[in-house]
Every structure is written in C-alpha cells, then in structure tokens.
Amino acid sequence: MSDVLVPIKPKGLLTSLTSFLNRKILRTDRSRWNYQYDKGLWDGLENMEELARFSVLAGYVHFLKPDNPSILEIGCGEGVLAQRIGRQHYGSFLGTDVADAAIEQANSRFGDSKTRFEAVDMNDFQTDEQFDVIIFNEAIYYLKPMLDKLMSQYAPMLRSNGLLIVSMNTGLHADSDAKWEQIEKVFAVVDSTFVETAKNGWKVKILRPLPV
C-alpha cells in the first residue's frame, strides 16, 4: 500500500498557526504564568523539597516581627508562604502575583479578613499602604530594573523599622551573586543564611534600607 498524503485543511492549519502564535510569540508574561499554574507546574511548591525554604522564611518573620506585622509578598503564587507563616502570626498579609490563576486559588484557599491576594505585575504595583515586612521569595529576578524599582517603588512601602526578605536560587540563576552585590549597595544585611535540599539551594537575606 502506498503512502497517502492527507492535506491539512485550511481551517485546521489556521487554528494551528493561531495556537502557535498565542503560545510562543504573542504570549504575555501573565498568560505564560497562567498557563503554568493551570497545568499544575507549580504544585511542587507544597512538597517536601520546598519545605526548608518556606520554613526559614516563616521563621524569620516569626522571630523578627512577632507582634502581628503587616506583610507584603511579591510573587506570592497560590499563597503557600501565607499558609506557612500562619494567620495567627500576622496582622495583615497582602500577596501579589501576575498570574490570575494563582491569585484565584490563593484567595479561595487562604483569603480572609486579614489575608488578601491581588493579581498585578510587580513592576506596576502601587499602594499607599506601608508594611513591616516585604518578601521577594524567588521573585526578584522579574523586577526590572531591579535596583531602581527596589529603591523608588518598594523601599517607600517599608515602615521606618521595616525589613526586606529576599530569597534567590543559587543554582538556577547564574547572576544571583551579582544581584546580591547590587542590593547590598543600598540595603544593609541584618542576617543571611543558606538553605539546601536534595534538589536546590537558596540564599536568604534579611535586609534593611541604608540611611540616605
């Protein structure tokens, strides 16, 4: 039997091209992250290999800000860190993420009178609120230009004794050391630790803005 070539119908070809354009070329950051959350690609954040990092972040909040702090988390995903910290340990928690899909899950699982989540790009986020703690947990890579945004956009959101907590993966991001050097030009290091699991390693630093 000879091979038979089946022509692609124009409608099918158009659909395929449209799908390719949407997935690979025209996709925005928001749609890319929504796709990943919809596919469950970030479900692993609640697994044991991520427990150490989240536990360290929560532990720093408990120890350094024990009196019901106001917390802002940038790049909160589905709200795992809010759960790890525990609503009994904060006065208010605001988490932001560019992915609507993640924020919808966070609000349905953990949202309450003290805990809320908003879908917004970290580069565009603005608020008149001030916070005792601002956390970038594996998210600061997407703040551009990083140092300018930290100083002009986020440092003013810290209260006078507020702290910035930053976690960066040391293996997946080759420029993490350069980013730390930039950050430490304008923030003093209050404490620093290294978290390692069988899968990954992270530097976590507690920072305070240097006097202007």
User: Quick one: pLDDT band at residue 173, thresholds 50, 70, 90?
Assistant: confident
The span from the first CA to the last CA of the chain, in angstroms, equals 81
Domain count, the chain: 1
User: Quick one: pLDDT band at residue 22, thresholds 50, 70, 90?
Assistant: very low
Q: Is residue 162 part of a domain?
A: yes
DSSP secondary structure letter of residue 174: T
Q: Is residue 31 part of a domain?
A: no
User: Quick one: pLDDT band at residue 200, thresholds 50, 70, 90?
Assistant: confident
42-80 per-position pLDDT tens digit: 555 667 778 999 999 999 999 999 999 999 999 999 999
Residue 12 pLDDT more than 70?
A: no
Quote the pLDDT of residue 6: 45
Contact 163, 208 (CB under 8 A): yes
Quote the pLDDT of residue 95: 98
**Cα separation of 166 and 186, whole Å?**
14
Other CB atoms within 10 A of residue 155 CB: 17
**Cα separation of 76 and 138, whole Å?**
9
Residue 150 pLDDT more than 70?
A: yes
Mean pLDDT of the chain: 85
| Domain enclosing residue 156, as ranges | 45-209
Q: Is residue 123 part of a domain?
A: yes
Percent with pLDDT over 90 in the chain: 69
Q: Is residue 17 part of a domain?
A: no
Mean pLDDT of 189-195: 97
DSSP secondary structure letter of residue 88: G
Which amino acid belongs to residue 64? L
Q: Is residue 6 part of a domain?
A: no
**Cα separation of 85 and 93, whole Å?**
10
Quote the pLDDT of residue 8: 43
Position with higher pLDDT, 37 vs 153:
153
Q: Is residue 15 part of a domain?
A: no
Q: Is residue 81 part of a domain?
A: yes
The Cβ-side half-sphere exposure at 102, using a 13 Å CA radius, reads 30
pTM of the model: 0.81
79-125 per-position pLDDT tens digit: 999 999 999 999 999 999 999 989 999 999 999 999 999 999 999 99
Position with higher pLDDT, 18 vs 134:
134
Percent with pLDDT over 70 in the chain: 80
CATH at residue 88: 3.40.50.150
Contact 77, 99 (CB under 8 A): yes
Q: Is residue 87 part of a domain?
A: yes
Contact 7, 77 (CB under 8 A): no
**Cα separation of 117 and 110, whole Å?**
9
- What residues are paired with 207 via a beta bridge? 164, 189
Which amino acid belongs to residue 131? F
Quote the pLDDT of residue 33: 59
The Cβ-side half-sphere exposure at 210, using a 13 Å CA radius, reads 9
